[in-house]
DNA sequence: ATGAATAATGTAATAATATAACATTTACTT
DNA sequence: AAGTAAATGTTATATTATTACATTATTCAT
């Protein structure tokens, strides 16, 4: 799977390695499981992972799933700050769907307005059982 | 401040103490800061707090703020499971507004439907700067 | 009432997640 | 090339949460 060179080239070595780990993963990963995956690439301390994750999150390449203390690569071409994203998580198979349409951003804008707050960052996570798991 | 006896009477001693701590607090508290507040009431270990928090959350008396790893008493008379709640958090003064109207529940229902997921639990947190802090 | 089952508690140990502090290296800019 | 900013390496430690197991309290059917 080829990566966009323009994206990867803007990243440092550690950032690229962490992002690759997340891209290769089927689901969200904890910082420490990323660390374990990257020990054979020279990673030795959690801070190496956390620092890369900070930047990747800042760039919009990675999202943090607060309710799982874990991280997931953004599935969208570029997730700019203005767009709110919602995550739907199956508690059975742990598949995560990343939803990011205008209605979500609108909803959060309305919420911010109701609360008289200037929005910085939103976090929307819905836990449930996906269709496939429900059938079993 | 008098508590509803019907509510308190259904709680155990530890649960009541933890809920009181959260009711007395101006904002959200971490489990360990609750523990510290309750040491003079005989609390000695984090598990005493976590176990009480589990039950209080289950009963709907307490909410967990995932992005803060902390807990807050529910401001509503009774927060049944069917109602989705959103939290608006000022990153400056740390005041938390608990929003719980039908539009939030509706929004999450639509999201669940779009993702073909049977919803269990939702978590909506919006970080920003409140009006008061913005003025300063 | 009594005994069995269930729920809650006490306590110690440890696991899992995250950051502080400081030294060093690399990359960028002029 | 020198100076600055950004990234990295490394150790130690802080913070958050759970496992495991023993004990006590409560509930509930008989």
**Predicted local distance difference test score (pLDDT) of residue A101:** 86
Question: What radius of gyration, in Å, describes the C-alpha atoms of chain B?
Answer: 16
**Predicted local distance difference test score (pLDDT) of residue A117:** 97
Q: Taking CA atoms, what residue in A is nearest to B107?
A: A107
**Predicted local distance difference test score (pLDDT) of residue A78:** 55
* Ranges of residues in chain B whose predicted pLDDT is under 50: 1-7
What's the average model confidence in pLDDT over A96-122? 95
CATH number of A5-73: 1.10.10.10
Name the residue with higher pLDDT: A136 or B85.
B85
**Predicted local distance difference test score (pLDDT) of residue B89:** 98
**Predicted local distance difference test score (pLDDT) of residue B75:** 85
Which uninterrupted H or E stretch holds B36?
helix B31-37
> Looking at the C1' of nucleotide C17, which residue has the nearest alpha carbon?
A69
**Predicted local distance difference test score (pLDDT) of residue A91:** 94
What's the average model confidence in pLDDT over A108-122? 96
Note whether B117 contacts A66, CB cutoff 8 Å. no
Phi/psi of residue B48, nearest 5 degrees: -60, -40
Name the residue with higher pLDDT: A132 or A5.
A132
**Predicted local distance difference test score (pLDDT) of residue B114:** 96
Note whether A128 contacts B112, CB cutoff 8 Å. yes
**Predicted local distance difference test score (pLDDT) of residue A86:** 97
- Reported CATH class of domain A86-135: alpha beta
> Based on the number of CB atoms within 10 Å of its own CB, is B59 exposed (0-12), middle (13-18) or buried (19 or more)?
middle
Q: Where are the domains of chain A?
A: 5-73, 86-135
- Assess A125–B contact: CB distance below 8 Å, yes or no: yes
Note whether A99 contacts B115, CB cutoff 8 Å. yes
Residue A50 has pLDDT above 90, yes or no: yes
Q: Is the CB of B14 under 7 A from strand D?
A: no
Q: Please state, in angstroms and rounded to a whole number, the distance separating the CA atoms of residues A104 and A67.
A: 19
Percent of chain B as helix, strand, coil, to the nearest 5: 45, 25, 30
pLDDT tens per residue across span A66-89: 999 999 999 876 555 567 899 999
**Predicted local distance difference test score (pLDDT) of residue B101:** 86
- Assess A113–B contact: CB distance below 8 Å, yes or no: no
**Predicted local distance difference test score (pLDDT) of residue B2:** 30
Task: Identify whether the C-beta of residue B127 lies closer than 8 Å to the C-beta of residue B89.
Answer: yes
| CB interface of B with A, residues 30-69, below 8 Å | 66-67
In terms of Cα–Cα distance, which of A33, A30, A100 is closest to A65?
A30
Q: Taking CA atoms, what residue in B is nearest to A101?
A: B111
**Side-chain half-sphere CA neighbours of A120 within 13 A:** 11
Task: Please state which of the ranges A24-33, A105-114, B73-82, B119-128 shows the lowest mean pLDDT.
Answer: B73-82
Of A66, A122, A129, the CB nearest to B120: A129
Note whether B108 contacts A90, CB cutoff 8 Å. no
Residue A1 has pLDDT above 90, yes or no: no
**Predicted local distance difference test score (pLDDT) of residue B9:** 61
- Assess A128–B contact: CB distance below 8 Å, yes or no: yes
In terms of Cα–Cα distance, which of B72, B43, B75 is closest to B57?
B72
């Amino acid at each position: 799977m080829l990566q966009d060179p323009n994206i990867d080239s803007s990243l440092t070595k550690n950032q690229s390695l962490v992002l690759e780990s997340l891209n290769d993963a089927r689901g969200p990963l904890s910082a420490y499981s990323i660390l374990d995956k990257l020990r054979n690439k020279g990673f030795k301390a959690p801070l190496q992972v956390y620092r890369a994750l900070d930047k990747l999150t800042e760039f919009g390449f990675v999202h943090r799933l607060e309710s799982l203390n874990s991280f997931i690569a953004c599935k969208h071409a570029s997730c700019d700050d203005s767009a709110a994203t919602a995550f739907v998580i199956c508690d059975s198979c742990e598949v995560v769907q990343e939803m990011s349409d205008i209605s979500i951003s609108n909803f959060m804008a309305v919420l911010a307005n109701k609360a008289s707050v200037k929005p910085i960052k939103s976090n929307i996570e819905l836990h449930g059982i996906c269709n496939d798991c429900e059938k079993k």
